[in-house]
Each structure stands twice: as structure tokens, then as C-alpha cells.
Amino acid sequence: MYQKILIPMALDHGIAAQALEAARALLNDGGAITALHVYPQPEGAVSAYLDENVVRAAYQDAEAKLTERAQGQSDVTAVMRVGHAARTILDYAKEMDADCIVIGSHKPGFSDYLLGTTSSRVVRHANCHVLVMRPKS
């Protein structure tokens, strides 16, 4: 059982409810669940072509979706961060002293054969336990 569980949420995947269910089953009484969404920072030359208002609106849309997913879940705290997905997840897990990460993984393609690229990086580099969730089929 765990005291601090981090659930990184890709807002375009439908695994949030399944991940929350698993996290609750693993949580100690009095423990905390944090739902984290990492908004990707536009990089390099791409950022020169993006309108600042469009980027801000997209961030606010993602923040609203995360808030909506956490709404009514008194045991879940929603957190937004900007950065590279895997690195930001790992940094935030360390910052909050998470003892478990419950992360979703899409059906892998050839380039990321066993796990999605973000989840595989988190599994390889996390300083705590990691539970990888696949969508129910």
C-alpha cells in the first residue's frame, strides 16, 4: 500500500478512470492521489510559428479538462506542469516524494514495442514503484 500516488494523465487517452480505480485500491488510509498533466512546451523553431494566444488557449483548455476529470474526486489533487512529459513526470514524482506512479500506456507501435515512449522512460528511471495501465479491451 502507498501513501503518495502520482497519476500522470494524457488527456486524450481514456484510461483516467481505470488508473484512478487502481490508485484507490493501492492507497493507504489517509494517503493522497495527485493527477498530473504535463503540457508540452513548444520547442525550437516551432515556437516561432505559434501564436502566443493560441498556445495560451490550448494550455487553458488542457487545464480545464484536467480540472473536469478531478472534479468531484475529493481524494484527487490536480496539477498542471509545462515541459517534456517523461522528464516532468519523474521530476514531479521526486518533488512530491511519490511512492508509486500509476501511468497509462497506449498500444505500442513498432518504435516503442513494449510500452509507450513516455511510460517506458518513466518505468526505467523512476525512483519508486510504477504500475503501467493498459486500456481495458
- The CA distance from 50 to 41, in Å, is 11
The span from the first CA to the last CA of the chain, in angstroms, equals 27
Mean pLDDT along residues 33-53:
85
pLDDT digits 0-9 by tens, 63-90: 999 999 888 888 999 999 999 999 999 9
Answer yes or no: CATH 3.40.50.620 is held by domain 2-133: yes
Contacts of 56 (CB under 8 A, 6+ apart): none
pLDDT value, residue 106:
66
Instruction: Name the grid cell of 40.
Output: 508540452
pLDDT digits 0-9 by tens, 110-125: 544 555 688 889 999 9
Question: Grid cell 494517503 — which residue?
Answer: 31
Q: Is the dihedral of CA 107, 92, 29, 123 positive or negative?
A: positive
pLDDT value, residue 14:
67
pTM: 0.88
Give yes or no for residue 51 having a pLDDT over 90: no
